[in-house]
Amino acid sequence: MLIDRTALADLALGAAFLGSGGGGDPYYGQLLGEAELARRGAVELIALDTLADDALVVPCGWIGAPTVSVEKLPSGREAVAGLRRLEQIFGRPIDAVMPIEIGGGNGLAPLFAAAQLDVPVVDCDGMGRAFPESQMAIFNIRGLSSCPSVLTAACGALTVIETDDNLTHERVARALSVALGGIAHMVEYPLTGRQAKDHAIGGSLSAAIAIGAAIREARERGDDPFAALCSALRRSGLYPHAGLLFDGKIVDLERETRGGFSIGRVAIESFNGQSRMDLEFQNENLIARRDGAVVALVPDLITVMDRETADSITTERLKYGQRVKVVGSAAPPMLREARALAFVGPAAFGFTETYRPIEQLNAWDDL
């Protein structure tokens, strides 16, 4: 399919939800994408299984604290500079790009790069949502190397990172993003077509578009966008359970930018004052407690949304007094495997709670 202006807007809506509060606000990505589409025409979205085994497929996205991305704008040359350098390292052209994470602004980042390089975007991603750290990508979970990786900044600085250890890569890239002003573009986990087909989370980009379209169409029809969202999530196959976790008003918020992340917690109170939800986040919302009881745990998705517009509110956009609904969704099945939970389950974020699937913690109609 071709990603035109409407699909781009839908993708921005859907990716914002799938960000689970992180991945950066998609708004700038949408504006950049619109400008690029206007200049170069629609971008082609290709299915994962159409890739040749020996294709060179490159995940891209931004690394840094979303709080910074709101104020420090990209130069627009970061992605191409990084991808061209990777082509130089491999001595061959890149065949396609893909989002390292479908969630948030990073779900849109490769469209911009694809338009500039005139290559297609693959309908997949490396996280099925957004995660704060690079080694949380499915490709690390499945034992692939993140390197060679190229990090580029708005100032023009370019850094090639090579290490056998994906955790060292994350540590180095994080330090670089901080040194370069808090945010940088990164291409990482360069894949063969075979590796992408075996390990990427397929269909997530078209799922994000469909989810966004469902919200948009419900708004146009005057229907409940939350019902439409949950229904679209379930229909996608990737997110088989979804439902409302809470409805209320933000009554407390702590947030700081530390070590290259937005870290904090937010409290939401029900309108009758009888119930309360507490969320903790590291870029993304990681755990939801309702009146003290855990009702959702990473890697399942927890997204705070404007209760009128159903716009997703990224963690750096949370504000005291916002009236919100919190929507939860099951993570894609690949993220719930035992080997994945070791990297993206509660323990990976320092929580002592054992992972339990969101559909077991909530009495939703879709069960």
- Using CB under 8 A, list all residues that contact a second copy: 155-165, 168-169, 171-172, 174-176, 178-180
| 181: its two tokens | 């002003």
Q: How far is the CB of 220 from a second copy (least distance, A)?
A: 48
Q: How far is the CB of 173 from a second copy (least distance, A)?
A: 9
Q: How far is the CB of 99 from a second copy (least distance, A)?
A: 24
Please, which residue, 171 or 289, has the CB nearer to a second copy?
A: 171
Q: How far is the CB of 96 from a second copy (least distance, A)?
A: 25
For the CA atoms of 176, 159, 65, 213, what is the dihedral angle to 10 degrees?
A: -170
Q: How far is the CB of 324 from a second copy (least distance, A)?
A: 36
Q: How far is the CB of 64 from a second copy (least distance, A)?
A: 13
- Which residues are bridge partners to 44 per DSSP? 2
Q: How far is the CB of 79 from a second copy (least distance, A)?
A: 16
Name the nearest CA neighbour of 127 among 98, 89, 157, 166: 98
- State the chain's maximal CA–CA distance in angstroms: 63
| 190: its two tokens | 């360069």
Q: CB burial class (10 A; 0-12, 13-18, 19+) of residue 235?
A: middle
Q: How far is the CB of 238 from a second copy (least distance, A)?
A: 34
Please, which residue, 153 or 205, has the CB nearer to a second copy?
A: 153
Q: 287 by DSSP, 3-state: which?
A: strand
DSSP string, 69-124: HTTS---S-HHHHHHHHHHHHHTS---EEEES--SGGGGTHHHHHHHHHT-PEESE
Please, which residue, 176 or 296, has the CB nearer to a second copy?
A: 176
- Phi and psi at residue 279, in whole multiples of 5°? -115, 145
Q: 243 by DSSP, 3-state: which?
A: strand
Please, which residue, 155 or 342, has the CB nearer to a second copy?
A: 155
Please, which residue, 180 or 298, has the CB nearer to a second copy?
A: 180
Q: Which amino acid is at 232?
A: A
Please, which residue, 158 or 227, has the CB nearer to a second copy?
A: 158
Number of other CB atoms surrounding residue 144 within 10 Å: 19
* Alpha helices, H only, 19-61: 26-40
Q: Are 60 and 121 in contact (CB under 8 A)?
A: no
Q: How far is the CB of 157 from a second copy (least distance, A)?
A: 4
Please, which residue, 20 or 149, has the CB nearer to a second copy?
A: 149
Please, which residue, 75 or 354, has the CB nearer to a second copy?
A: 75
Question: What sign results for the dihedral spanned by CA atoms 177, 148, 336, 199?
Answer: positive
Q: Are 234 and 250 in contact (CB under 8 A)?
A: no
Please, which residue, 47 or 160, has the CB nearer to a second copy?
A: 160
The C-alpha atoms of residue 111 and residue 294 are separated, in whole angstroms, by: 37
